[in-house]
Structures are given as C-alpha cells and as structure tokens.
Amino acid sequence: MIDSRCLMENGGGGGSCLPCTPEEEKQIVEELNREAERDLKEGNLYFVVSSRWFSKWERYVGQGDVDNLDNGQSFKSQDLNFERPGPIDNSDIIEYGSSNEGDELQLARTLLEGRDYVLVPKKVWEKLVQWYKGGPVLPRKMISQGVLNKKQFNVEVYPLCLKLIDSRDDSESTIRISKKASLQELYEKVCSVRGVERGKASIWDYFNKQKSSQLSGSNQTLEELHLQMDQEILLELQVDSSPSQSGKDSTGNELALVALEPPRSPMSIAGGPAMSNGHSSSYSLNLRPGSALNSSLTDMDDGFGAHSSVRRVEKGGLAGLQNMGNTCFMNSALQCLVHTPQLVEYFLEDYSEEINTQNPLGMHGELALAFGDLLRKLWSSGRAAVAPRVFKGKLALFAPQFSGYNQHDSQELLAFLLDGLHEDLNRVKQKPYIEMKDWSGEPDEEVADECWRNHKARNDSIIVDVCQGQYKSTLVCPICRKISITFDPFMYLSLPLPSTVTRTMIVTVFYDDGSGLPMPYTVSVLKHGNCRDLSQALGTACCLKGGESLLLAEVYDHKIYRMLENPFESLISIKDEDHIVAYRFSAKESGRKKLEIVHRDKSTPDLLKGNAGKYFGTPLITYMDNDSPSGADICLAASRLLSPFKRACSSTKAHSGQENGFLSEANGETSSSCNGQCEPRDQSMGNTELEDTSSEELPFQLFLTDDRYLSCKPMSKDSVINSGNCIKVVLEWTEKEQKLYDSSYLKDLPEVYHKAGYTAKKTRQEAVSLFSCLEAFLTDEPLGPDDMWYCPGCKEHRQATKKLDLWMLPDVLVFHLKRFSYSRYLKNKLDTFVDFPIHNLDLSKYVKQKDGQSYKYELFAISNHYGGLGGGHYTAFAKLIDENRWYSFDDSRVSPVNEADIKTSAAYVLFYQRVRTESKAELGETSQVRAGISMSLIIEIAQDIDPPLIESTSKGTELHLSLAKKLPLILSISLLSVHFCFNG
C-alpha cells in the first residue's frame, strides 16, 4: 500500500510531503504511466530524460532487477543497496555549443530512445522533479503519424530544423518547428524571426540551393511538403513593382526567373507529368482522399510515369542517393532493390495496370508509384545523385516507425518495402476467404502444392513471382508427440550467426597502494556469465595473489558511474563501448572507509557547467585506515596512489621503465632512460612534503565533494572528514602536478571491446560459412516461453520443437544475417566474418522438393553495416549485370570496387539471383529445334546450289561423289545463316 503521506501528495493536496520510499515512488510512477497510456492524444506533453540517470532511478526503486543466469535467482535493487540517485542530470544528452534558437536547449543528434534517453509523461516528470530536482527541462509534444488504420502516436523528439536564407543579405537563421505544422505556421514563425510583414514574404523550397517551388497557397503540413531536416528555405520580399524595378528583389538585384511547374491533377499518376513529346497522359487513378501525390515536389523531373517506358541512358544505374539525415539505412536498402534485375525490368516498363488502389493492406498504390518513380530516376540520370525526398515522405506516411532522422535497420526497411510493394501491386483485387486445414498425414507434395495455390489465390504480384519461396515447418509436441506440418511462404531468410559462446573484454587494473602502473588486461568470459566470472578471469590474468581482491567499477564521464559489487550481476549489462576498471587491493577491506579521488584540470575550465576545471582521467580508489581521516591522511593516500605516475626526469617519461605494469624505479633502481643522471623515485615523498607545509596547507589542492560532484569544499591539513562509507575528493591538477606526474596513464582507458572505427574487419579469426549459418537456421529448436504452440492433442499451449526445411526457392533469394542481438539489458552487434560464395552458391542439398529446377545462385547485391548498434553507417555493393562489374554505393558517392573486396565482416543482407540452366529435356528439345532450323537452312541453300543433290538425298540415296566437294560451301553458308538468325 502507498503511504497516506504520498497519496496526499499524489492527489494534488497542495504542500510538500515527506520523501517516499522506493516502493512508493515506483507505484506512483507506474500509475501515472498507465493514466497517460489511457489518454493518448495529439499534443500531449512528454519530457526527455537521460537514460544514465533514469536507469539509476529504476535500480533504486527495484525495476532494474538483475537475473542470476547460473541459478535462476533474482536480486532486487533493495537487496543490493543501490543508492538513491541525485538530481536529474540531462547534461549528457544536450548539444552544447550549437546555435540554439533563443534559450531553447537542443538534444544531441543521433540519440536513441532506450539507449540514450527515455520519454516520460508530464505528470511523471513533475513527480521526478519534485522528488529529485535537477534538469534541464526538455519538453516534447506527441504527434500522430500514418494514415487510416496505420496511424501511430509518436513523440516528436527532434522537431524539423530548417535553415532560413534571407535573400536580402544572404544571412542564415535556424527555424525549429514541428513537421506537423502548417505552411501558415511556418510563415508566421519566419516573419516573426526576420521581422517582416506577412503579406510581403515569399518562402521557397531551397533544397540543394535550388528554388524547387514556392511554398504558398497550401493547407498541407511541412511533412506533406517533403521539407527535410537541416534543408534550406529561401525568404524573398515582394516590393512595389514599377517598370524600372520589375524583375528585381528588395535590394535591387535581378531575380532569376524560375519556371514554375504547371498545376497537376490530383488524379494522375505521380502528379501526371507531361510526356517528353509535350503531350500529357490521359491515364489516371482514383487515389485515396487527400493524397499528396499531386505535390509539386517529386523525385521524378524527367517526365516518366508508371504508364511509360524508360530507355536506359548510357551507364544507367550508377546514380547515388543523397543522405537526407541518417538515411543511409534507406539508401543501402534501395540500392539493392533498384539493382535487382527483375525489378528493374518491371518498373522500367508500363506497370500501371497492376497498381492496386483498393487493397486495404496496401498503401493505395502510392508506395509502388514512389518507388517506381525513384527507380526510373536512378536509371535515367546517369551519374547524378538523386534526393529521394518524395519517397522518404511516402515512407514516413505509411511506416511512421521510419519517420524522423534516427538511424534504423536496413533489413527492417527491406521487409516493409517488399511487403508494401507486393500489396500495392497485388493482382488479386478481392481476396477470397480460404480456411486452413490441419495436416492429417497427406504427402508433402500435395500439401505444399495446395498451400501455394491458396497463397497465390490471395497474393499474386511481381514480388511473389520473383522474391517469395516456401518452407516446410514441422512442430512436435513434447508431451503427446502430436505433429503439425505447414508450408509457409517467405520473402527472405534470417540466418543466425553460430558465433562462440565466449566474449572478449578489456579491463584496466589499478593498484590501491601505488605499487604499479595501471595495466589493461584482455580476458575471455562466457557471454552470459556474471561479474564473479569476470573477476576470476581477471585475477588469473593479473596474477592476483592470495589475500588480494578486485573491485570492479564502470567509469563514465571520468567518474565512477557504478560499482559492480554484486557477484551475480550479468555481464550482459556491460556494453562493448563501456569503460570497466578494476581496483586491486592487498587485503580484505570490508568495513573500512573508501576513498575515491577524481581529477580536475585547472588549466581547462568547464565554463558550460560552471566548474573551475574539466574532469579528466580515471578515478583512483583506496581504503582509509581510520574512520575519521584528516586532510593530511587523505593527502598521504593521494601521494601514494599517484607515486607510480611520477616522472623519472623532466625530459623523459617513465614509460620505458615499465615492466609488467611496474616501474623499476619503484624498487629503488634508476631508469635506463635517464642514463643514471636522475634520482630514483621516492615512494614515500608524501611524508616529507607534508612536513614542509604549514598546518593549513597541503601539497595538493583537494576538495571534498558530494555524490553528484556538485559542491566542492576546500580541504586543509587539519580537516577531519566524517562522511559516510565513501569519501569523494576532487584533486585539482595545476601546472605543478602536470610537471611532476605523467597524467597520460590516467587518460588512456580502453573500451571493453575495442573496435577500429567503421573499417570492416576482414579477419578470418571468427569466420563462419554461409552454409553453417543456413544449417543453424534449419536445426531443430524449442519454441521460446513467449511463443508456445497450442497443441490440438493436449488442448494446451506447449513449448514445442520446431524444424524448418526449405521446400521451394525464389528466383531472387535474400539472406539476412542476424548480426544484432537483443536482450533485456543489451543490444549488441556481432562482427563475425561470414564467408559467403559470390559465384555458384549451390543449395540443392538443402531443398526438399526435387522439381528439376536449378538451385545455383549468383550474388548481385549486399547491404553493409559498419560500426556499432544505433550508430554506424550503411552502404551497399551492387553488380551491374550488363557490365559484369561491382560498384560501391555510399549515399551519393558511387565508385567501382573489385569483386575480391566485397567480402567483409560488414555484410548484413545478401541478394542472390538464380542461375538458369536448361534441363536435359529442354536441351534436347532446343537442340532439335536448332538442328531442324539448321537442316532446313542447309537444304534451302543446297537446293539453290544444286537441285539434283536434294532430289537424291530426299530419295534416300547416298551423296553423289561428284557433288561431295560442294558440301563445305553449303555448310559454311548454312552456319553463317544460322549465326545471323540467332544473333541478329
């Protein structure tokens, strides 16, 4: 039950109340979240909160439960004594130094929900602020996106950012406005920012610094007008025209005459462009009400519609796609599809008859039209890069999950696009109802044929013809052994990567007694292991002695973010980009007061946060000998911890004296790099220094701080510290400390898993073959607890065993390599190198149906992903079949690439095309036809040369010897005729 004091607070009774318990905070927030879910509507206010802070709060109130994967136990945050978080801190997600409009703070670009931030309803935010204070405040509004039954509510985290160019002085202003705002609202905001009259202002779409169209007289939203993030718009002012000033702007400069596009009928395909011969098309479609296809903006400006054929220009298919703001995932997927030979042939011809505008599962034909227009543009523009603005607008309209400017998954886009194109081009206008039958022992061939006929009765399109295959799914009940067999269609195959079960981690070990330099160690642990496993592996690697122990911690922003003190905490909670350190202690330190020292550089002030200097390096941790240490005690501890970093001499750093993490000077020896001219390092220098100082002064500038490092109180020699279990101290580095100590050892902290930028690793160390991935996909596996099967024999849901088999393969076979792994705590990417064939991929032994077709495939396109999850970069490799040459498509950049270089660990989605080989029967028939044609030609030519020869052969007589010498001439003429017949 929630305490009455918090019920009064939650009920709006007015004044403040006593602090709530963690359980009470959790219940209040859960109820407020449920209330917000029940009242979803456009315009609701949400607030952005840093995930760093919010995850601390979740652990504190018990939501961040930690599972022990070894024994199934669950530990609540209360059991682990998680501290109450300090004030809300959104500083890590703010974009500092940007040209913000007014005082409005902006979020850093490329943040991901869940990973970098969370969204909380207004009432939840108010409660959190009441409990914790802090900020800054980052409000965002909820908008609705999509059409009809595809409408979704989303919080507009990143409003549309437009760059306003004033034609009077070419000055630039930043306009931030919702993508759902009307054109009228844009005019009002622009006029307010520039201080001009509404009646004199004209705004132009100035994409790529070209006046595409004037934005006027429209009730469309900015989203429907296809305005893109960070694009430019142009402001022009109308002046009183006179004969002497017509054609000039407000500054007297001549205006460029821009031919406006003619008005377009809302009933025409893609806006009804005029044909190249000047005659408009009469073909029209009844599109959905309010369709934006009649927009003046289009990817197609060459006069090609769905009802006209396109002749490829020389070197067609080599156009890049402009990045519209984190749209490399879309560009990569599109380049693979627009280089699929069957789709190229289809969309370059007249496909208007197959547009299905009535399909409730489709996009009213608009997605197919937008894709077709884009494909035609790419194949007719030579090498000019294309800006897919209209296509992106359609994509956001029908798939709001891809709206905005965050990075998304190219495979997810491909799945949506293939399905959407199929429904828009479905030749079945009225889908019949077909009742599925349970399998009752019929032969596989009969069941498979019936299932495919039923599928084709409802789904018949170019996508089905080219991209869909069929697999056999077998479910077996573990209790009654009931078997269920179905034959289902597939558009692509998602293959798991059979990687190892271990994980490589890099952890830096520090010494609490100043006996050695920090040393990074690389260890291998079980992927689903726990912190105890990591400590044991690390202890072995660093030769931990008896009685010594390790304390694991995560470092973030040069401070201790969390202590990994629970031995059963899963390693899944540690991400690859995290910084993990371990502190090595000489004995058990339980019950002793902990000292944490963070470093601040006085020479680089942090003006944005109001600090005297910027934090840097890695915190140092040790334990104090008494419970109420003085400033002198803390100074001695700091001296001891810093002693390994003391420079051996002024001109040479002590790096060369390092051996296995220790310095030879620490044992009283002279570093060889000093050539015997430097005094050995004195590890006990702290005592002498303290004796030389006055009773108030310390050799270091030390400040006592709180848990959030928000306050700093100077410390003196006689200061007595009576804080809690952990004393947190800021050590300020002045020019003196920089000369005395080498701080580089504190700065060089590796990530848990080191990745070399976006470069694709071509190492074969963890290489697996495409066949092993396919075999893992086809292996028996039990269904998950959330995906159990209802057994008709047991009449209960069972965790059945599932087995997949390939039954029929399509002409275009798409493999999706499942590089991204998702769990409760972590989203991670596998950089395993998959060795895939480029030529002659033979899948014959994996296909159960033996129909005489060829199951050999050739690779023709790859969607690549470089970098980590949530960031990184997508590109594509595609083969121009006509040239038999590979090209790299990196957004707008297109360049040739050697076939040997397309195999990388970045390969994510593979596109294969069936190699057509004629069967023996086809070969025999073809040979007979060709032989018949050849013989008829030979007889015809021979008859012209010597009629008696033909007469004698027709009667079955042997060739006359006197005519035999004419045979070479007859054959040569015949072969030449056959050549021209077959090759034109």
Give 623: exposed, middle or buried? Use CB within 10 Å, 0-12, 13-18, 19+: buried
* Own/partner long-range contacts of 484-490 (Cβ < 8 Å, ≥24 apart): 484/438, 484/439, 484/789, 484/792, 485/439, 485/444, 485/447, 486/436, 486/439, 486/451, 487/444, 487/447, 487/448, 487/451, 487/452, 487/807, 488/451, 489/452, 489/455, 489/459, 489/464
Active site residue 364: no
Sheet containing 139-145, strands listed edge to edge, beginning at the edge strand earlier in sequence: 117-121, 45-50, 139-145, 152-155
Contact residues for 170 (Cβ-Cβ < 8 A; gap 6+): none
Asked if 630 and 717 touch (Cβ cutoff 8 Å), the reply is yes
Active site residue 161: no
Asked if 663 and 644 touch (Cβ cutoff 8 Å), the reply is yes
- And the tokens for 939? 């007889």
- And the tokens for 623? 């334990």
Q: At what angle do helices 22-38 and 122-132 cross, to 10 degrees?
A: 160
Dist CA 974 CA 941 (whole Å): 7
Q: How many residues does the chain have?
A: 984
Contact residues for 756 (Cβ-Cβ < 8 A; gap 6+): none
Asked if 84 and 174 touch (Cβ cutoff 8 Å), the reply is no
Dist CA 601 CA 597 (whole Å): 13
Asked if 498 and 821 touch (Cβ cutoff 8 Å), the reply is no
Backbone angles phi, psi at 46, to 5 degrees: -125, 165
Dist CA 56 CA 87 (whole Å): 11
Task: Tell me whether the omega of the peptide bond preceding residue 289 falls within 30 degrees of 0, making it cis.
Answer: no
* HSE toward the beta carbon, residue 662, CA cutoff 13 A: 11
Side chain identity, residue 967: L
- And the tokens for 420? 């959407």
In 3D space, the residue among 709, 704, 757, 702 whose CA is nearest the CA of residue 557 turns out to be 709
Dist CA 448 CA 87 (whole Å): 62
Q: Count other C-beta atoms under 10 Å from residue 389's C-beta.
A: 23
- Find the catalytic residue in 328, 451, 531, 542: 328
The radius of gyration computed from the CA coordinates of the chain, to the nearest angstrom, equals: 36
3-state secondary structure of 710: coil
- Find the catalytic residue in 307, 579, 816, 873: 873
Dist CA 336 CA 860 (whole Å): 8
- The kind and range of the H/E element at 369 are helix 366-380
- And the tokens for 245? 């000033």
In 3D space, the residue among 306, 262, 273, 268 whose CA is nearest the CA of residue 287 turns out to be 268
The catalytic residues are 328, 873
